[in-house]
Each structure stands twice: as C-alpha cells, then as structure tokens.
Amino acid sequence: MKHPRAFGSLPHVRYRPELTTCPHCRSPLAFSHPVWAKPIQFLDGITHLTNLGYRCPNPSCRFPRTIYRSAQAEARQIKGSGYGLDVVARIGALRFGEHRTRAEIREELRAIPTLQISERHVQNLIEVYLALLRASQRDPREALAQIVKDHGGIVLSLDGLQPEKGNEQLWIVREVLSGTVLCGENLRSASEDGLADLLRPIAQLELPVLGVVSDAQESIRGAVSTVFPKVPHQICQYHALREAARPLFEIDRHLAVQVRKELGGVREVAEQVAHDPADDPEREVVADAILAVKQVTRTNGVLPFEFAGVRMLDDLQALGTTLDRCLEKGGIVAFAACAP
C-alpha cells in the first residue's frame, strides 16, 4: 500500500468563495463544509490549502443545495494531484520549450529542496499540461492567420516522447514558425494509421501547409504521405545534427569516464578533511575545492552539442587556475595557520 507523504508542519491557507451572497436570492452565504483540503507542492514551497464550501441558508431559495467554492483555490491546484499549477507549467516549459527528457526534468526540479517528485509524476504532469493546453486553446486558425499571411502557410512538426516500454507514447504536433501546439495525444503505438488520425484534424482546418518536419521514421512518412500527399517532408535538423554528432559524442563519453576515474581519489581526500578540526579555516577552503571537483564529475552530456568530457576538462582547468591564483597570493592574513 502506498503511504501518504509526510511533510511535517505546514502553513495553512483557507479560501472562501469570492461570492458572499447567493446569486439567486441575495441571501448571505453560510459555511457548509470543506470541499477539499490537502498539502500542495509549489515551486516556492509546500502549503496546506483548504477550499471552504458555502451554500445559501435561505430555505425558499431555488438552489439551496448549490455549493459555492473559491475560484482562486481551484486555480492553484489540479484535481487529484498534490502539485500546484506552477509546477505543471514549469514541467511543460522544460519538456516542450527546452525538449528535456523526464529524467532531466526530474533532476531540474530536484534542485528545489521542498519539491518531491518522481519520473512517473513528471509523466503524469506532462499529460496534465497537455490537457490544460488543449482545453484552453481556441480555433487555431485565428492564431495562425498572421503566420499564413506573412509566410503563405504553416510548417508542421511531429514528434513523440518515447517512455518506458509498455507505456503509451505522447505525440505532439506543432506549428514551427509560431511554436503553437496544434495537437497532443497519447498513442499506444506509433503506427501509420494512428499518426494519420492525429494529423487529419489539422488537415480539416484547411490551412495551407508548406512542409512537415519530423525524425522521418517510416510510420511518420507513411502518415504524412496519406494525409498531406503533396506536402514536402523534411528530416528535423536537430535529429540530423544529433545523428551526425553521435560518433564524437561516444568518444567524448569515454573521455568523461576516464576523467571521473582519475578524479576518484578525491573521495579519500574528502574523508581526510572530514577528520580535521572543525575550527580549522583551511578545512573550509579544501572542502569547497572538493565540492567543486565532485560537481565537475556529475557533468552529463546531451546530444548534439553538449559534450560532457570537454566541459569537464574546461571546468577543471578553471578550477586549477583559481587554486593556483590562491597559492600565489601566499594565504590569507585572517587565517593564522596559513603561511606563504
């Protein structure tokens, strides 16, 4: 059985409805019961929110059983979720704005001390983000009218998020020139028929399509040729650059492994420093240097342009330059134990 998270003592915020009188009979609303109460994780901390429900006490009112709740409280959370809308928006921006993977998004959010989240929750909130995005969208033809006017048509991008095997795949269709998300669906398999069904509502908009960009896998090529038979289909430059850089990336990966292996001795130094007197000022300097070296070893690369090994060597060189400069100064006067 899954146990609920234990957050400890939390600040409590209670919301009342924005309406204070019944909209039908104008009687003052009276408290009925809490509609919901739960701790919610936001980017700036954890807060226990309660949405108080009110109803009309007038027995002659036509709607005495209607429960009125706070719209502000509802706007801060997602039903059935313990995360705030700001977390959902941040995950959506990282996934679709910066093309981060679930693991990379989780690592980004783990830097927030008060936020507890797993990769599974990241996937769930990506789906929540898409559902909210789809619900908030109007007819895209109005938003794309200026793009069609300026460029003569739109350019489509089709891409899928590949989760673990056995799970559904998240497929997104964007308009490249404006960045507008036109469609997002969970598909059990990236079959030609399934992707064609994803593209048909866009074809029904009757907007001129100048081209389609994708990673050009076989099922996508078949779906595009079925729905947009006369539209040029080009491989995504990002995918092309990623494949072109893969041999260099493998060489760099081996370099990064070698660098981490040679820096393995920093653990022994850290253990020695841990036994030094707590009031020794030199201990803090060495501990900071050890922390910097450990941070360098955590560097990861991302295709096509972020090479971990090269970046690690650059960071180590910068760290070495800093330490050499400190040694040239001959110590700090405030540290009695330091000598030139």
> What pLDDT digit, counting tens, does each position of 263-321 carry?
888 778 777 777 777 667 677 777 888 888 888 888 888 777 888 888 888 888 888 88
Which stretch of 79-93, 212-226, 276-290 has the lowest confidence by average pLDDT?
Answer: 276-290
Of 120, 136, 152, the domain-final residue: 136
Per DSSP, helices labelled H in the chain are 71-74, 85-92, 102-110, 119-136, 140-143, 145-151, 192-203, 218-227, 237-262, 266-274, 281-297, 308-329
Task: Please give the pLDDT value at position 127.
Answer: 87
Same domain for 148 and 124: no
Q: Which of 34, 131, 10 is nearest to 81 (CA)?
A: 131
Which residue pairs from 97-103 have beta carbons closer than 8 angstroms and sit at least 24 positions apart in sequence? 99/238, 102/126, 102/161, 102/163
Q: Which residues pair with 233 in a beta bridge?
A: 212
As a whole number, mean pLDDT of residues 170-180 equals 82
pLDDT of residue 135: 65
At 177 the pLDDT is: 82
As given in the structure block, the two tokens for residue 7 are: 């957050």
Q: What is the mean pLDDT of residues 101-112?
A: 89
* Residue 185, domain extent: 139-235
Mean pLDDT throughout 328-334? 63
- The answer to whether the pTM exceeds 0.85 is no
Among left, alpha and beta (phi > 0; psi -120 to 50; other), residue 299 is beta
Whether 340 is covered by a domain: the verdict is: no
Co-location of 255 and 314 in the same domain: yes
Residue 40 lies inside a defined structural domain of this protein: yes
pLDDT of residue 226: 92
pLDDT at res. 288 = 81
Domain count, the chain: 4
Q: Which two tokens stand for residue 320?
A: 């070495």
- Choosing from 93, 120, 136, the residue where a domain stops is 136
Domain annotation covers residue 339? no
Band of pLDDT at residue 333, cut at 50, 70 and 90: low
SS3 state at 14: strand
Mean predicted lDDT score pLDDT of the chain: 83
Q: Output the pLDDT for position 160.
A: 78
Q: Could you tell me which of 80, 82, 69 has the C-alpha nearest to residue 34?
A: 69
pLDDT at 1: 45
pLDDT for 111 beyond 80: yes
Is 2 a member of any domain? no
* 11-34 residue pLDDT tens: 999 998 888 888 888 899 999 999
pLDDT for 64 equals 87
pLDDT at 298: 81
| Residues 6+ away with beta carbon under 8 Å from 87 | 41, 42, 43, 109, 115, 117, 125
Task: Identify the weakest region by mean pLDDT among 128-132, 294-298, 319-323, 326-330.
Answer: 326-330
Specify if 334 maps to a domain: no
Q: What is the CATH number of the domain that holds 191?
A: 3.30.420.10
**147, 218: one domain:** yes
